[in-house]
Amino acid sequence: MKIRVINPNTTASMTDKIGVAARAVAMPGTEIIATNPASGPVSIECHFDEVVSAVGVADEVLKGEQEGTDAYIIACFGDPGLLAARELTRAPVIGIAEAAFHLATMISTRFSIVTTLARTGIIAEHLLQSYGFSHHCRRVRAAEIPVLDLEENGNAALDRIIEECLRAKAEDEIGAIVLGCGGMADLTEQISHAVGLPVVEGVTAAVKLAESLVSLKLSTSKFGDLASPRPKAFTGQFKHLSR
C-alpha cells in the first residue's frame, strides 16, 4: 500500500517530521511518501494561504496518480483543497482535521482543539460546522504561536501548547484534545503524558483511516460532485492542469 502524505506548505523540515510521524504508525508493508509542493506558502495561517496551497495539493495528487498511489493525506489542519483533490482520484483522500474529529468522537463525547493562532481557530470552527462535529467540540483554543515556531523554537512552542492543553482540561469539561496543526505531528506522546488526556493528532489518525479504507477497497465515489473534472483548457501558469 502506497500513501502519499502531502504537506501543503513548502517547509521541507516540517514535511520530514510529518513523514516520520506517519511511518511510526503505518502497518508493515505501507509505504509512506511524504512530500510538499515546490511552490506556495512556507506556512498556512489564513484563508489566502489555503487558497494558494490548494493548487500545490492538486499538483501533488496528480503526481501521485502517475505513481500508483493508493491513498492521499492532506497534512494541514485546514484541509486545503480536500474536495478538489478527491475529484482528481479514485483513491481515498483524507484531511487531517476531518480524521482527527472522527477519531476523537470515538474515544470521548467532547473534545477541545488546541491550535496555533486564533485566526486559524476560526477556520477550524468552520470545519467543525461543515463536517458536523460542532456539538462534540467544547472549545477551539490557540497557543498563539506562529506555525514556523514549531520548527524554529520547538521547546518554547511545546511549552505553550501544553499550557493551553492543561487549561482545556481544567476548564472545558472534555475527555480528549485534538491538536490543530500538522506541524504538531511529533508532539502527541509528550503532550498526552504532560496533560493526562488522550491526544488525537491528525496525521497519524489519517494514516490509520487511509489504511482502513484501502484494505476495505473503498474508493472515492465518482458519482455526483466528486466525479472527475470535465476536460477543459487552462491558461497561463495553470496550463499544465489542462485535461
pLDDT surpasses 80 at 154: no
The answer on 110 and 13 residing in a single domain is: no
pLDDT surpasses 90 at 120: yes
Q: Which residues contact 135 (CB under 8 A, 6 or more apart)?
A: none
The answer on 169 and 217 residing in a single domain is: no
In Å, what is the CA distance from 145 to each residue of 85, 100, 156, 173?
29, 21, 9, 24
The answer on 151 and 87 residing in a single domain is: no
pLDDT surpasses 80 at 146: yes
Q: Does the pTM exceed 0.75?
A: yes
Q: What is the pLDDT of residue 152?
A: 87
The answer on 47 and 23 residing in a single domain is: yes
Supply the range of the domain harboring residue 178: 97-202
Q: Are 150 and 18 in contact (CB under 8 A)?
A: no
The answer on 198 and 108 residing in a single domain is: yes
β strands within 143-193, DSSP E: 176-179
Tens digits of residue pLDDT in 176-208: 999 999 999 999 999 999 999 999 999 999 999
Number of domain units in the chain: 2
The answer on 91 and 209 residing in a single domain is: yes
The answer on 209 and 188 residing in a single domain is: no
The answer on 183 and 101 residing in a single domain is: yes
The answer on 118 and 211 residing in a single domain is: no
Spatial separation of the C-alpha atoms in residues 170 and 167, rounded to whole Å: 5
Task: Give, for 195, the enclosing helix (H) or strand (E).
Answer: helix 188-195
The answer on 83 and 39 residing in a single domain is: yes
What is the CATH number for 127? 3.40.50.12500
The answer on 213 and 123 residing in a single domain is: no
- Taking residues 94-99, report their average pLDDT: 98
The answer on 233 and 144 residing in a single domain is: no
